[in-house]
Structure 1
Amino acid sequence: MSDATEAAPARADCVADSAGGLTFHVSDWARPQPGSYDDWSGALVLVRRGAETSDGEVRLPLGPTGNGRLQAALPSTVALPEGRWDVHVAYGDAEPQRLVPGLNDLRSLVDRRPGPSTSPLSVRIPYATKHGNLSLRSWRRVPHAEAGEIRLEGGTMAVRGRLYRVEYPSDWLADAVVEARCRRDPSVMRTAPLESDGPEFSFTLPYAELAESWGGGADVWDLWLRPADEGAVPARLARILDDVADKKEIFTYPPREVSAPHGTAHARPYYTGDNDLVVRIEAPA
């Protein structure tokens, strides 16, 4: 039996900045050696899962640093479409190799508060896949409604949040409503009024109104903020301004019993795999 062992995969430490950019520091890569320090053709390659178009791959220049490692930068100004991106490293025309995660410095993402702007909000959060590889979750939204505190009070859910990426948040939120859209039947919608103070907003959504059309099984309601101006773009309610890539199993809320014409149902909010906020109406377990 051979004593040879497979080389350990290269790993990357990730450092996030408050603008939404990432810097990758790559080490342990058994790569072809360039002819000199300046003779380098390495790249960090990001591949979007399920992409069938030309925007499914992004190549970032990868160059040596003084400490013998390699570095690549993904600025917030690089448009990275929403989705999950697998991170690879490549040299020349060689087949790209998957990277594994090293140490992440994501402190700047915790309670991130982007400044005023009308450009798309870029969010990228590195994470380890179930197979132990490095991937990124990317969002790119304009406008964006960031969900904050959620309180469950009797048969209602009370939500506070903040609006981003509109020129005049106070005007946008004036007379706006929260709109719940039923996935089973997109023509079925329910609304509730908003209260606002500058870019901050709050609302209370009664579960009973969502349960009125429930007929058994499970209904999922997507939550949006819809401005009074019919020409303005609605904002999806989500929670993406922190360092948690997948919130579904981390931010959990207990179900509440609600009476419906079809019978007793359970209602609860949760975050989807895309960290969008929804409400689910279903039969008691």
Structure 2
Amino acid sequence: MKISFLIHTIYGIGGTIRTTLNLAEELADRHEVEIVSVFRHRDIPLFAIDPRISVVPLVDTRPSSPTNEKKHPLQLQPAELFPKNEARYKEYSKLSDERVQAHYAGSDADVIIGTRPGLVAYVAQFARERAVLIGQEHMTHNHHKPELRAEMYDHLARLDAFVTVSEGDAASYREQMPLPDTRVLAIPNSVPEPMVAPSDTSGTTVVAAGRLASEKQYQVLIEAFAKVAAVRPEWTLRICGWGNQKDRLRRRIDELGLYNRAHLMGPRSPIEPEWVKGAIAVSTSRHESFGMTLVEAMRCGLPVVSTDCDYGPREIIEDGVDGLLVPVGDVDAIAGALLKLIDDEDLRRRMGAAALRNARRFDPGPVAKQYEELFAELGAATASRGAASRGAAPRIAAATGDSEEFAPVADCAVGQDGELGVTLLPLPPSPERQDGLRPSRGAGLRLVCTHQDAKAEERAFAFDAEGRATVPAGADFAEGVWTCHVELPEGERVALATRAVDQRGAMRAADRMVAGAAVRQLVPYVKQGVLSLRSWGRPVHAEVGDILLADRKIMLTGRLLGRGALADDPVLLLRRRGKDPAELTFPVGREGSDGFRVTVPCAAPAARQTAAHDVWDLWLRYAPDAEPVRPGRVLDDVVEKGSLIPYPGTELMKKRPLAAVRAVARKLRGRPQERVTVKIFYSASNDLVLNVVDKPIK
């Protein structure tokens, strides 16, 4: 049969997009599947889309596109057929009305599925009579305003089925919004098996993921984690996602002094490599129709602490077995549950194993089967029109001698010893072969890594017959960015794309440093769609620990690693860049054999300000006769820390000579006095830099 999903946009990131793709990909094994995206706001979707799935964008809103339709006359007129009380009503128009109606007027789809209220209304109005019409509820009945529920009633009544993602919400619809001729049932969202190995729960990281929106209550999580960090300061919190609450959350982190412990990591796709870096997952939502992130985390082997909100969490988590349920908004209860798992490693491991086991019920296979049974019961055509009958489009072109196209895709992982493994994904059977056998994955191929700046500098590693290339731990890579290609036997090179990059082994790089040996770190990541490596190689390195800001001072801790040794009187140097160089010196205290601590009064560089924006580099002279080294943080998995690990600035009165002070005072009488901000941050190479910047007078 042919199945059509109607979605707001498939080009973004979010739970509805993820679950639609998960279900569509599973159904594509047996059926013809299309995803109709009302809007296309970027060139390439953020999630990888199986090539067996047809994507049909209807309205082009890409800013740089020559076919951008934001100024189309019909786009400037409000929608007439989209519910006026729908949250996204203002984004819809007569143009979207017309495009969706035209698409389904000529559609031969057997099943049409709307994925949000307004699109369910479109399906009910525009779909041809022969199709089975299904609406999906990815929020909850109680989440919608009464005005929208009233507006949607007639549309829902025209459907063959209305599917919620939890039994609790289905019951709410049946009770509060009876639909005699529409079957109302619950089918959970699906989450596929992760492409990375599960977490062993042995780390010290708590992970949360989702939109940075008010309903996720991340502010409550941050406040709860402040209580955790007060007694377990070695633990950190990572929140993955984007949204309009980012600045507010950033301010709260700074207010609580958690800038060393709580980090807003931005959107991550795929998310599984981030989950497996954690030891515990947490969700503090006010409401969850389902809880995709809960299942994702559990499928990655993490025990979950979640608020017991309506409706999903209590249908996903077995309290005390694979996770812990706590009251909504209860800071103390959330902190207590996290500490319970932090302090009991055996419990954490048992719950993680149970989570991995219990979450298999959300695999796309069983979930898709429930949908297929529903389609059949509702009378949808059952003839196979999918991949099995027409031949699945391969994910990767075959690496055969007569192939005109080779588009390699690999998984990459850092081992606990620092070894890097790059594994090509399985190649499809050659179309010329009738026995179903596929060519050897990697025979004759090489992984070639090229330095971005010194392009003549390369490192090459052979793929074995199973398609695996190994970069040994401690391999000699010059510092900088390296780009990865696959070299074919005849010498042609093709950029290497990735499915998943598992950086876990990079998180514990400091633990495997050998005394007296040069410091080396190699972190894989994706840059512009291509597998890249960020390398650091330093004979001596000052690895930064915590940075504390108090009393208009910057207090910095760290360790000296590599082939150097701290003398009795090391010093920290601030060196100003630009046309007016200067140097400031601060004494450094020793802590143990390789630890150091230094305090920099913010007033010192502020008093030497010569421009509206002074930039000072930090250097550590660890011994009187040694060349100074740059303090930085490189021994973890975060390639570029500048925006992910920011520190708040310190405001000071702008220093002036006495005569200038009097002149300015007369000029600015009754107005705010001029101030400067002193701020420390990580550069693009993850070395520490300090800014002194004029703060504008408002």
In the alignment, what sits opposite 1:259?
653
Which of 108, 111, 126 is the equivalent residue of 2:524? Answer: 126
In the alignment, what sits opposite 1:174?
568
Say which structure, 1 or 2, has more relative contact order (CA 8 Å, 6+ apart).
1
Residue 28 of structure 1: CA displacement?
4.8
Code of the aligned partner of 2:679? R
Distance 1:39 1:180, change over 3 A: closer
Structure having the higher Rg: 2
Question: Secondary structure, in 3 states, of the residue corresponding to 2:464?
Answer: strand
- In structure 1, how many angstroms separate the alpha carbons of the residues matched to 2:653 and 2:417? 45
- In structure 2, how many angstroms separate the alpha carbons of the residues matched to 1:103 and 1:225? 37
Does 2:621 correspond to 1:226?
Answer: yes
Q: Which has the higher strand share?
A: 1
- In structure 2, how many angstroms separate the alpha carbons of the residues matched to 1:237 and 1:150? 12
Does 2:631 correspond to 1:237?
Answer: yes
For 1:36-57, what per-residue CA distance to the aligned partner results, in whole angstroms no more than 9, with x for missing partners?
Answer: 96993210011111225x4x22
For 1:88-147, what per-residue CA distance to the aligned partner results, in whole angstroms no more than 9, with x for missing partners?
Answer: 111112421111222233222224323333332111111122x32211111101200011
1:48-87 matched pairs, under 5 angstroms: 48-52=451-455, 54=456, 56-65=457-466, 70-87=467-484
Code of the aligned partner of 1:11? V
- In structure 1, how many angstroms separate the alpha carbons of the residues matched to 2:425 and 2:588? 50
Does 2:570 correspond to 1:152?
Answer: no
- In structure 2, how many angstroms separate the alpha carbons of the residues matched to 1:204 and 1:111? 27
Decide whether the 8 Å contact of 1:143 with 1:234 is kept in 2.
no
Distance 1:199 1:47, change over 3 A: same
- In structure 2, how many angstroms separate the alpha carbons of the residues matched to 1:210 and 1:133? 41
In terms of mean alpha carbon deviation, does 103-112 or 117-126 score higher?
103-112
Code of the aligned partner of 1:255? G
Decide whether the 8 Å contact of 2:681 with 2:690 is kept in 1.
yes
Residue 255 of structure 1: CA displacement?
1.5
In the alignment, what sits opposite 1:117?
515
Distance 1:16 1:149, change over 3 A: same
Which of 643, 657, 664 is the equivalent residue of 1:249? Answer: 643
- In structure 2, how many angstroms separate the alpha carbons of the residues matched to 1:260 and 1:244? 35
Structure 2: state its 5+ residue gaps. 1-389, 397-406, 431-438, 657-673
In terms of mean alpha carbon deviation, does 194-203 or 261-270 score higher?
261-270
Distance 1:88 1:146, change over 3 A: same
Question: Secondary structure, in 3 states, of the residue corresponding to 2:642?
Answer: coil
Distance 1:96 1:186, change over 3 A: farther
In the alignment, what sits opposite 2:415?
17
Decide whether the 8 Å contact of 2:518 with 2:563 is kept in 1.
no
- In structure 1, how many angstroms separate the alpha carbons of the residues matched to 2:458 and 2:495? 14
Question: Secondary structure, in 3 states, of the residue corresponding to 1:64?
Answer: coil
Does 2:595 correspond to 1:200?
Answer: yes
Residue 228 of structure 1: CA displacement?
3.3
Question: Secondary structure, in 3 states, of the residue corresponding to 1:274?
Answer: coil
Question: Secondary structure, in 3 states, of the residue corresponding to 1:63?
Answer: coil
Residue 153 of structure 1: CA displacement?
0.8
Residue 268 of structure 1: CA displacement?
0.6
Which of 36, 46, 56 is the equivalent residue of 2:449? Answer: 46
Code of the aligned partner of 2:645? F
Decide whether the 8 Å contact of 1:154 with 1:256 is kept in 2.
no
Code of the aligned partner of 2:612? G
Decide whether the 8 Å contact of 1:121 with 1:142 is kept in 2.
yes
Code of the aligned partner of 2:551? G
Question: Secondary structure, in 3 states, of the residue corresponding to 1:112?
Answer: helix
Number of aligned pairs? 271
Residue 211 of structure 1: CA displacement?
1.5
Decide whether the 8 Å contact of 2:647 with 2:680 is kept in 1.
yes
For 1:49-73, what per-residue CA distance to the aligned partner results, in whole angstroms no more than 9, with x for missing partners?
Answer: 1225x4x2211111122xxxx1111
Does 2:686 correspond to 1:275?
Answer: yes
For 1:147-184, what per-residue CA distance to the aligned partner results, in whole angstroms no more than 9, with x for missing partners?
Answer: 111111131111111110035x3xx2420011111112
Question: Secondary structure, in 3 states, of the residue corresponding to 2:630?
Answer: strand
- In structure 2, how many angstroms separate the alpha carbons of the residues matched to 1:206 and 1:213? 12
Distance 1:38 1:275, change over 3 A: closer
Residue 269 of structure 1: CA displacement?
0.7
Residue 186 of structure 1: CA displacement?
7.5
Decide whether the 8 Å contact of 2:513 with 2:519 is kept in 1.
no
Decide whether the 8 Å contact of 2:447 with 2:487 is kept in 1.
yes
Decide whether the 8 Å contact of 1:10 with 1:30 is kept in 2.
no
- In structure 2, how many angstroms separate the alpha carbons of the residues matched to 1:12 and 1:189? 47
- In structure 2, how many angstroms separate the alpha carbons of the residues matched to 1:137 and 1:93? 28
- In structure 2, how many angstroms separate the alpha carbons of the residues matched to 1:174 and 1:186? 31
Decide whether the 8 Å contact of 1:221 with 1:280 is kept in 2.
yes
- What TM-score results when the alignment is normalised by the length of structure 2? 0.36
- In structure 2, how many angstroms separate the alpha carbons of the residues matched to 1:60 and 1:94? 14
In the alignment, what sits opposite 2:169?
none
- In structure 2, how many angstroms separate the alpha carbons of the residues matched to 1:196 and 1:111? 24
Distance 1:192 1:185, change over 3 A: farther
Distance 1:147 1:39, change over 3 A: closer
Distance 1:176 1:40, change over 3 A: same
Decide whether the 8 Å contact of 2:418 with 2:509 is kept in 1.
no
Question: Secondary structure, in 3 states, of the residue corresponding to 1:210?
Answer: helix
Question: Secondary structure, in 3 states, of the residue corresponding to 1:110?
Answer: helix
- In structure 2, how many angstroms separate the alpha carbons of the residues matched to 1:85 and 1:184? 29
In the alignment, what sits opposite 2:130?
none
Distance 1:91 1:260, change over 3 A: same
Distance 1:159 1:97, change over 3 A: same
- In structure 2, how many angstroms separate the alpha carbons of the residues matched to 1:142 and 1:31? 48
Which of 211, 219, 235 is the equivalent residue of 2:606? Answer: 211
Distance 1:5 1:15, change over 3 A: closer
Distance 1:90 1:121, change over 3 A: same
